[in-house]
Amino acid sequence: MFEGSVKIKDKSIPCTSLGTAPFAGLTYFGHRSRLYQIDLYNNPENIRKIIETSYNLGVRAIQLIPEPPVIEALRGAVESGLDFSIIGTIRAGRFQEDLRLLLDLEADAILLDEEYTDKLEAWELEDLLNSINNTGVVCGLITAFPRNTTRKLLVSDDILDLFDIYMIPLNKLGYMMNFPCFLKDERKELEEMILDTGKFIMAHKILAAGILKPDEAFKFLESVDYIDMVSIGVASVEEAEETFTLLFKY
């Protein structure tokens, strides 16, 4: 499942990306965030080992949050001969800085962080998307609120013409997905809205920040037919081996 690649404009982008949220120690991992900061953020060599293991298992893209230790680890992996397609995230409050950095890294796609997508008005997003599109890379949006934000995007006159990838949280629990519950009706509602966007859909938070085991998560994902790509973060070599070996067997 999610082997191969999708063609977007003139880019061939792998369907499976290594997520980097654990490497960045993002706070939504709860108490594990501090452990990730100690074990990963403060130890780029540990990040590099996970990147190299994931590559050897067949992962050919990285969904890059451009924190310095993550960049250091990725550069080391690339210098050793690994060829990753980079799907970069522009962090909140760092638009120009991250845009330059990701262009220097020759990213194939650049996505606006959820802090932009979910909080800005559509016309404000249009200005930022135009700036990315002017560089010639594939452009996209990340949302933490797929229900509210997708509604906003669908009623905008022009914004749907300005991006190609739409990255949404998706897991069987509805965890961190902006739904009070995520049962049959809610799943149908999300599916209909997402299909109406006409975008390449990338799913993340598939493991519900570690609450779900890979097998349980992938069984649910197998039942969803509107996902084109996935980004999955892992926090150790062992997790990478378990997760990506199983994913590619589905």
Q: Encode 167-195: b = buried (16+ Cβ within 10 Å), e = exposed.
A: bbbbbbbbbbbbbeebeeeebeebeebbe
User: What pLDDT, on a 0 to 100 scale, did the predictor assign at position 30?
Assistant: 81
Q: Is 160 helix (H, G, I), strand (E, B) or coil?
A: helix
Q: Which CATH architecture has domain 5-247?
A: Alpha-Beta Barrel (3.20)
Q: Which residue has the tokens 């993550």?
A: 70
Tens digits of per-residue pLDDT, 194-207? 999 999 999 999 99
Band of residue 25 on the pLDDT scale cut at 50, 70, 90: confident
User: What pLDDT, on a 0 to 100 scale, did the predictor assign at position 31?
Assistant: 77
* Burial (0-12, 13-18, 19+ Cβ within 10 Å), 197: middle
Residue 17 has pLDDT above 90, yes or no: yes
- Which pairing describes strands 16-19 and 61-64: parallel, antiparallel, or unpaired? parallel
Band of residue 244 on the pLDDT scale cut at 50, 70, 90: very high
- Listed by start position, the domains of the chain span 5-247
171: tokens are: 């897991």
Backbone angles phi, psi at 14, to 5 degrees: -55, 145
Percent of the chain with pLDDT over 70: 100
Which residues are paired to 12 by β-bridges?
Answer: 7
User: What pLDDT, on a 0 to 100 scale, did the predictor assign at position 29?
Assistant: 84
Nearest to 87 by CA among 101, 108, 70, 68: 108
User: What pLDDT, on a 0 to 100 scale, did the predictor assign at position 137?
Assistant: 97
Tens digits of per-residue pLDDT, 60-111? 999 999 999 999 999 999 999 999 999 999 999 999 999 999 999 999 999 9
Q: Estimate to the nearest angstrom the gap between the alpha carbon of 93 and the chain centroid.
A: 19
**Average pLDDT value for residue range 153-176:** 95
What's the count of helices (H) and strands (E) in the chain, helices before strands?
A: 11, 10
Band of residue 27 on the pLDDT scale cut at 50, 70, 90: confident
Q: Is 151 helix (H, G, I), strand (E, B) or coil?
A: helix
Backbone angles phi, psi at 56, to 5 degrees: -65, -20
Host H or E run for residue 142: strand 138-142
Note whether 84 and 74 are within 8 A (CB).
yes
User: What pLDDT, on a 0 to 100 scale, did the predictor assign at position 146?
Assistant: 97
**Mean pLDDT value across the chain:** 96
Tens digits of per-residue pLDDT, 179-236? 999 999 999 999 999 999 999 999 999 999 889 999 999 999 999 999 999 999 999 9
Contacts for 87-92 with beta carbons within 8 Å, 24 or more apart? Answer: 87/13, 87/17, 87/61, 87/62, 87/63, 87/111, 87/140, 87/165, 87/202, 87/231, 88/64, 89/63, 89/64, 89/65, 89/113, 89/142, 90/116, 90/132, 91/65, 91/66, 91/115, 92/116
Residue 28 has pLDDT above 80, yes or no: no
